[in-house]
Every structure is written in structure tokens, then in C-alpha cells.
Amino acid sequence: MIFFLEFIAVIFGFLSVWFAKENNVLVYPAGILSTAIFVYLLIISELYGDATINGYYFLMSFYGWYFWTQKKSGQIINQVGRTSLNEKIGSIFLFLFGIIAIFLIYNYFNKWSTVSAYIDTLTTGIFFVAMWLMSRRKIEHWTFWIVGDVLSVPLYIYKGLFLTAIQYFVFTIIAIIGYREWKKIIQKNQEIV
């Protein structure tokens, strides 16, 4: 049963990242389904940081879905762009919040016995920022996904979640492609203005 749930979560996770690469709002419904399943799987795997981050993704997907679909006079308001100074400052605070929150969770469950707890804490902080910037349609989110994904592959192999490790490896490749495609969108939008 766990393998089947992991398989479903991975498929919808792939779809979610693919839709993000395509700048398609379907990133959010696919992500909602994937993250809901992953919350369960990660809790039983004792990866509390990643379980928390998937819960955060689940909630932020509703915000992103709303943000990406806002229209004025029939036109989408929030287009792909770069982070502002305030968003950069917000990213720093969100990263620190993620680290502290996961630190407290691992402390509460007394789970600092393996290196995976430290990697999980770091990637959670990175992914908190990535999801927030993605929901705001900022190109820099791809950089955070790439770093977090690269760190996650060996973590999931170590925890025995091999499909998830493969998923994060493929996510890395899609994120690199997504960054390039979003960069083209920004350049095209600058030529129009």
C-alpha cells in the first residue's frame, strides 16, 4: 500500500513540476494531491521536516492558485518576474522560520540521532522559500528548488524512499529547464514593454 501511495504522489508531483515549468496554473491542483499523500508517507518515515514542508506546500498551493489566476479586465495580473528587495528580505525570514520550526519539531520528537535530521532541516528552509517564491511567480524559485532537490536525492535513498529519490532527481532536471524557460518569458515580456 505504501508503494502504491508513493507511486501516485510521485506521478502527481511530476505533473505539478511539469506544469510549473510550463507556467500553467494546473501546477496547484496536481501539487495539492501529491503533497497530501506525501504528508502521510513522510510522517510514517519520520521525516518530520519534509512532512511539515509538504503540509506547507499543500496550503501554499491554494494561495498560489489564487495569486496566479487574479485578473483585471480579463488579463492575468501577476506575471513571471524577478524578486523585489522586500521579497528577498522576506525569503531570508522565511528560510530562518523554516529552519527554526523544523528544529523545534525534531527536538520535540527527540530525533536528532541521524544526519538525515540535519539535511531535512536545511532542505525544509530552502523549500519554504522556493514554494513562496513560486506562488508569487518569481523566477528565483527555480534556484531554490534545484539546490533543495540535489540535497534531497541522497536523503531519500538513505531513508529507502527510492521512487521519491528518483522523483527529486527528475525534479532537478525539470527545474533547470524551468529556469531557462521562465528566463525566456521574462526576456519576452521586457521586449514587449
Distance CA 123, CA 48 (A): 12
pLDDT, tens digit (0-9, with 9 covering 90-100), for 119-132: 988 998 999 999 99
Place of cell 527536538: 107
Q: Is the pLDDT of residue 53 over 90?
A: no
Identify any residues that bridge with 147 across adjacent strands, giving them in sequence order.
none
Could you please report the per-residue DSSP string of 54-109?
HHHHHHHHHHHHHHHH-EETTEES--SB---HHHHHHHHHHHHHHHHHHHHHHHHH
Length of the chain: 193
Cβ atoms of 31 and 61 closer than 8 Å:
yes
pTM: 0.88
Q: Which residues of 14-24 are buried (b: 16+ CB within 10 A; e: fewer)?
A: bbbbbbbbeee
The confidence band for 193, taking pLDDT boundaries of 50, 70 and 90, is low
In this predicted model, which residue has the larger pLDDT, 167 or 16? 16
pLDDT at 190: 82
Identify any residues that bridge with 76 across adjacent strands, giving them in sequence order.
71
